[in-house]
Chains A and B, each alone.
Chain A
Amino acid sequence: MAAQLPEDHRLFELMAIRAVEGLPPTEEAEFAGHAAAHPDIDSEAFERTAAALALVGVAVEPMPDGVRNRVEGAARVWLAQQAGTADETAGLPAPGNVVPMPARSPRSTVWGGWLAAAAALVVAVVGWLQVEQLTDDRAALAARQAALEVSVTRLEQDLDLRQQVLAELVEPTPEELLARLEGRPETLALPWSTTDDPAAADAGGRVIWNPAEQTGVMRFSGLQPNDPTAWQYQLWIFDAERDERFPVDGGVFDVAPEGETLIPIRAKLPVGEAVLFAITVEQAGGVVVSSRERIALVAQPGA
């Protein structure tokens, strides 16, 4: 025969809401009040029923090892805290150390006994509540600490990934670019040919171009240093797939007075098939379309 539930509609309503969607703090307090007033009612009954129904059709999959390790870590912290709490309670004075009170009259002893018992009860309850609170706080802190540790690990991983991406985005130095492109089968390495232009009288070097990466490096030696405020060199890439009148702008650059110069190529448009690289002398800042009055160097595949 089924056990009959005692009547307390409001408690039952709160129990049902609690079992289905949880209660906000105010109603949780109301629930606690009703539950305390009706200790004969199993206030978790609906939660258990709901849990039984929630188990219907659950396809249990094993807990992943990573999660297991994390929970085990939390378990160790929790156990350590439990042990710590036990130590704290162990530090309380032992009954044998209590100093006996002086004897009182029989009447006062009776009342005093009741008062002492009540006081001891209050102290015990307050102490128990404090220990419970402390345990709860520590467990919550442990959970938060474990969650933070996981977050930190994730952030570190994100940071590593971000640094890798940034490293890929940072433009390599001409030396790094040269090292990367040289030796690749598709990379072109073409020697510069001088013209009659005086700037290139003693010039040498070569142009490195990788059509797949659409990038390259120019190497110069003996090219006349320029005054960036007055004039600059500009690279043009003639593309077999474009109108010869409009070569691709390869960028404006300067040549320093000493040593060998390495200049990265920054083509403004995609280059299909490079058939000629030409260095012109232009006004400071370069031009959109070169007059080709001063062509200093050229490099041509197959030349």
Chain B
Amino acid sequence: MAEPLLKRVANGDGNAIKEVMDQFGGLVWSLARRSCYNPTDAEDATQEIFLDIWKSASRYDESKGSETLFVAMIARRRLIDRIRRQGREPRMDDIDAPGFELASNTQDEGETFAEAALAAKAVATLKPAQQRVLELGLLQGLSHSEIADMTGMPLGTVKTQMRRGLIRVRELMQVADLADVGEDR
């Protein structure tokens, strides 16, 4: 079995670094563009994300998810960090963007987004209010306070719904993973 790309990066393989850009460049750039107000900011963010990916590559654990998921996690972390540093509001022009259900129907097929499809299915099983909290927080990038302002829910309720929603989605994704393994056998 081939060594994971990120492990090769961690070992200082220069070719692997290039391959990471080939494989995840579009994804990182697209996530940055979705989060940043202008292309210049997105360029800075993209470079920052890749630096963090290379630095964090040694911590990649393939038992916990795909490399795509790891890259997306690092990207989100850096983008959230940039929003905090800049003290700015998240982009609000996507506030009427489709929710998880609709968005999952419009996304590309393929291994790249296998975990996203699982997550979208899991979200669909949540209560509507919980779905809404997750959509606002994770698709639209609103903070808990902003979600509370927008929905009229108490802040504590928003936090609880978010936490329970994430736990539930994670559990359902694990179940689906196990089911897939069972089917493969």
Contacts and interface: CB of A to CB of B under 8 A. Distances in A.
Contacts, number: 197
Contacts of A46: 166-167, 170
Interface in A30-79: 42, 44-64, 66-68, 70-72, 74-75, 78-79
Interface stretch (A11-19, A99-107, A226-234): A11-19
B73 A47 contact: yes
Contacts of B103: 56-57
Given A50-B76, A67-B43, A79-B12, A139 B55 contact: yes
Given A54-B139, A56-B100, A63-B26, A49 B173 contact: yes
A21 interface: yes
A57 B106 contact: yes
Interface string A118-156: 000000000000000001100100110011001000000
Given A17-B144, A17-B159, A53-B169, A58 B134 contact: no
B153 interface: no
A53 B119 contact: yes
Nearest to B107: A57
Contacts of A13: 159, 163
Given A54-B76, A72-B21, A143-B51, A48 B138 contact: no
A75 B54 contact: yes
A20 B100 contact: no
A166 B6 CA distance: 51
Nearest to A16: B163
Nearest to A49: B170
A240 to B, nearest CB: 52
Q: Binding site of A, secondary structure by majority: helix, strand, loop or mixed?
A: helix
Interface residues of A, number: 57
A136 B21 contact: no
B134 A53 contact: yes
Given A62-B25, A63-B21, A63-B25, A57 B98 contact: yes
B108 interface: yes
Contact of A55 (B18, B84, B116): B116
Contacts of A150: 43-44
A57 B12 contact: no
A57 B117 CA distance: 9
A21 B137 contact: yes
Interface string A1-31: 1110100000011011101111010000000
B144 A20 contact: yes
Interface string B163-184: 1001101111111001000000
Interface string B42-63: 1110111011001100000000
A52 B173 contact: yes
A48 B159 contact: no
Contacts of B46: 63, 67, 71
Interface string B116-143: 1111100100000000001001110001
B4 to A, nearest CB: 16
B151 to A, nearest CB: 14
B51 A55 contact: no
A68 B25 contact: yes
A116 to B, nearest CB: 29
A142 B55 CA distance: 13
A125 B173 CA distance: 37
15 contacts: A5-B167, A12-B163, A21-B137, A45-B170, A46-B167, A48-B64, A52-B169, A53-B120, A55-B119, A57-B97, A60-B26, A60-B112, A61-B26, A63-B29, A71-B46
Closest 4 CB pairs of A and B: A57-B103, A55-B116, A63-B25, A52-B119
Interface of B: 12, 14, 17-18, 21, 25-31, 33-34, 42-44, 46-48, 50-51, 54-55, 64-65, 68-70, 72-73, 75-77, 80-81, 83-84, 97-98, 100, 102-104, 106-108, 112-113, 115-120, 123, 134, 137-139, 143-144, 159, 162-163, 166-167, 169-175, 178
